[in-house]
Amino acid sequence: MTVIAKIDISSPTGHKIVRELEKHKRVVEIIYPEPIAQDEVIEETITIEEAEEYLWNKLEESYGVELRTI
């Protein structure tokens, strides 16, 4: 049987658990996720300008008034 666990190693307890697991190399395989590069943009993200435009449009739909001109 295989068990998959996510351990937060930013806490002292999580770091201690991982160090203990690393001692048992015959039965434990630790896989560290690859960090996301700063220059990679996730497809679901939008720019701050797009978010602002979306907000103004939704407010205009809700109130029926162009709020940017007030």
3-class SS at 26? coil
* pLDDT digits 0-9 by tens, 33-69: 887 666 666 677 788 999 999 999 999 999 988 888 8
Residue 50 lies in a domain: yes
CA distance 68 to 25: 62
Residue 6 lies in a domain: no
pLDDT of residue 1: 85
Count structural domains, the chain. Answer: 1
Residue 50: give the domain boundaries: 12-69
At a CB cut-off of 8 Å and minimum separation 6, what does 30 contact? 18, 21, 22
Residue 64 lies in a domain: yes
* pLDDT digits 0-9 by tens, 4-41: 889 998 999 999 999 999 999 999 999 888 876 666 66
